[in-house]
Structure 1
Amino acid sequence: MMHCLRAIYFIVLVMFNIVETKGLLANGNSNNSDPIHGSSGHNVDTTDIMQMLLNQTAELENLKQQAENDRSTMTKQLENDRSTIQSLQNRVFFLEAELSKLNSSKPTQEMSTYLMSMNKLIQNVATNEENDRNLTQRVDSLVKHFDDLNVQVRYTSLSLLDVHSSTEQLNSSIIQLLEERINGVHDHIANVSTRIGFTASVTSPSSSWSSGTLVFPKVITNVGNGYNPSDGVFTAPRAGVYVFFVNVQSYASQGIYVDMELNGVTKVRAMAFGSGNDYYNAGPNLAVLSLQTGDRVWVKHHSGSGYYYDGPITTFSGFLI
């Protein structure tokens, strides 16, 4: 359409130029070698006019060719449109025929009911699909939740295993410690029950004692009750190795000798000797003896006389090792 308008425009322009050219030629000089003078005093060259006409003629030819091409294209487009219209008409005829068949086979009310039922069914299907999607999402959420719970249970199980292992180790340590403590208590009880030891002292000085067994009536310690303060004799409650110690303190400047006896046999002797200005000397001695149950140990006079007392100075001791 635009090409046609341009062609018409150029045709009018060419006609206008031709009319103007004729007027110039009619009013100008006829000398071919001189410029053409118009009535308005303008100079017109015939060569330029001819060239302009040729250019416009060529332009008209181009426009004509374009118009022919446009006409051919529009013709083809028109044929295609006609074919499309014919196809649509055939489709409409087919649909009208189908509609007539439907109208003839079912009443309109029944068709409406059927269509409504189908619409409801389609809506129900769509609703069910939406419900299925929602249910699937909920199931997925529950599955994820269960997965999280499984992970938590796994971690909790590992923690419980660690706690159980630590508890077992702690119980083992506690049991071992308790066993050691119980064994220690048993050993202590056994030691207490088997411990034997004593210490005894005289209760007053004597300047005249000179024979027999030296009795130490004051009992300071008597574990196992092996020492008898009445006669000054220790009797071994059980067999073992014993340590015995005796100290006799001389009376003033007197001298005194005592023996430690085991079943009537002298084992060691202690002496406290004084003379002149030498007063109250000590006579200690110690013996380690192996005894059998029932063996007896005591301190007896050997020579000299007297012993001194100023608290527990003159003493007799012994214990099982």
Structure 2
Amino acid sequence: MTPPSSKMVPLRCLLFLVASYFCHLGGTAAGDDKLMTRDSGIWNETSERSGSVAFTAVKTNNQRLGYKQAVKFEKVLLNEGYGYRAHNGIFCAPRTGVYVFTSSLLHQGEGITVHFAIVHEGRLMAGFHANAEWEQFSQTVIIRVRRGETVSVRNLRGNNPTIYGDEFSTFSGYLLK
């Protein structure tokens, strides 16, 4: 007789492949893939049954960003529905609906003005900026997102600013309805 745990491995693999298929829509301009991944390696069965989608991630490392590059928030505090991917900083919607997204960034004082935006499928939804010195700045949007579409926080200028980590910069979102 086969042990119960060996039967679960193929089922988990099948679930991951199905979820990956729905979220894999091709690359973005920055070359980021859209393959959905799971941070914990196992599905959160409660969030899948309830349909909840919510995430919060914070930056732990400083990041110098090129033009249109996504900010990577490395430390994931919550990832219900597994839409946020820390390896590229991009949220890929697991369900269609109205979402709330918010981001707060701390610009490392470099003597330059910086411009960032919450971006949905390559389109600027709302911009935000900081002046030349250390400054915390934020933005919030409520938008309709279809399953498989992406949302990220991106640099809008070519002056290579540094976003400060140390858990001062955040990116969050949740399915409103």
- Tell me the TM-score normalized by structure 2: 0.65
2:159 is the counterpart of 1:301? no
> 1:314: which partner in 2?
169
Verify the 8 A CA contact 2:48 2:81 in the aligned structure 1.
no
User: What are the residue-to-residue correspondences of 1:15-164 with 2, within 5 Å?
Assistant: none
The alpha-carbon distance between structure 1 residues 213 and 191, as it changes in their structure 2 partners (threshold 3 A), is closer
Offset from partner CA, 1:86-106 (integer Å, 9 cap, x none): xxxxxxxxxxxxxxxxxxxxx
Higher relative contact order (CA closer than 8 Å, sequence separation 6+): 2
Q: CA deviation at 1:193?
A: 2.0
User: What are the residue-to-residue correspondences of 1:270-285 with 2, within 5 Å?
Assistant: 270-274=128-132, 279-285=133-139
For 2:162, the aligned partner's letter is: G
Structure 2 segments unaligned to the other structure (5+ residues): 1-45
Identity across matched positions, percent: 26
2:131 is the counterpart of 1:288? no
User: What are the residue-to-residue correspondences of 1:198-213 with 2, within 5 Å?
Assistant: 198-206=55-63, 208-211=64-67, 212-213=69-70
| Whole-angstrom distance in 1 between the partners of 2:48 and 2:66 | 40
Residue of structure 1 aligned with 2:77, choices 211, 220, 243 = 220
> 2:28: which partner in 1?
none
| Whole-angstrom distance in 1 between the partners of 2:93 and 2:47 | 17
User: Highest CA radius of gyration, 1 or 2?
Assistant: 1
> 2:38: which partner in 1?
none
Verify the 8 A CA contact 1:247 1:285 in the aligned structure 2.
yes
The alpha-carbon distance between structure 1 residues 198 and 190, as it changes in their structure 2 partners (threshold 3 A), is closer
The alpha-carbon distance between structure 1 residues 306 and 225, as it changes in their structure 2 partners (threshold 3 A), is same
| Whole-angstrom distance in 2 between the partners of 1:243 and 1:228 | 17
For 1:308, the aligned partner's letter is: Y
Q: How many residues align?
A: 127
Structure 1 or 2: more strand by fraction? 2
| Whole-angstrom distance in 1 between the partners of 2:174 and 2:47 | 16
The alpha-carbon distance between structure 1 residues 192 and 249, as it changes in their structure 2 partners (threshold 3 A), is farther
> 2:119: which partner in 1?
261
Secondary structure at the counterpart of residue 319 of structure 1: strand
Offset from partner CA, 1:88-130 (integer Å, 9 cap, x none): xxxxxxxxxxxxxxxxxxxxxxxxxxxxxxxxxxxxxxxxxxx
2:98 is the counterpart of 1:241? yes
For 1:214, the aligned partner's letter is: V
